[in-house]
Amino acid sequence: MRALIVRLLQLFALYSPGAMSVRIWLHRLRGVHIGHDAFIGFDAIIETDRPELVFIGDRVCIGVRTTIIAHFRGATKAERHEGSERYSVRICNDAFIGPGALIMPGVTIADGAVVSAGSVVTSDVPAMTVVQGNPAHPVAKSTVPLGLYTPAQKFFRGLRPLKR
């Protein structure tokens, strides 16, 4: 019965209004840990079966049509209940996940990191790093986190491209 309720709440969260209110509340009811002042875009899928494996920190912005997958046949310690790790996917404070990104199990996206639109994240993303591509790879470092209230010009001025 719990699985049915979790999936129904996910369905309501997909299309409900309130990216900073109703959607957050519905995902918390499902079991996702979500910090303060988070934003979850329209049609974002956050782990349909095991939402308790997802941690979303404070001031995180998750773009429209993002998909977060936290389990896959026991691939992570959190899924297998080994060790002290509770979460399979950790999106830390001030992270920005662009529209259409795919976050795979066992990934930590550190404080202030940016995942570009459409990227597929298969490994950890360091703090204040911009990643893009499939699989996502670092392309720049940032001195300013890209938040809901950060002016784009301020963010762009703080970018430092990485040498290839």
pLDDT in tens, 12-66: 999 999 999 999 999 999 999 999 999 999 999 999 888 999 999 999 999 999 9
Q: Which amino acid is at 137?
A: H
Q: Is the pLDDT of residue 2 over 70?
A: yes
pLDDT value of residue 78: 62
List, as own/partner pairs, every contact residues 40-46 make where C-beta atoms lie below 8 angstroms and the sequence separation is at least 24, other chains included. 40/13, 41/65, 41/66, 41/99, 42/14, 42/15, 43/14, 43/15, 44/14, 44/68, 45/10, 45/14, 46/10, 46/13
Q: Give phi and psi for 46, each to the nearest 5.
A: -115, 105
Position of tokens 């204040």? 128
Q: Is the pLDDT of residue 79 over 90?
A: no
Class of the domain covering 2-159:
mainly beta
pLDDT averaged over every residue in the chain:
92
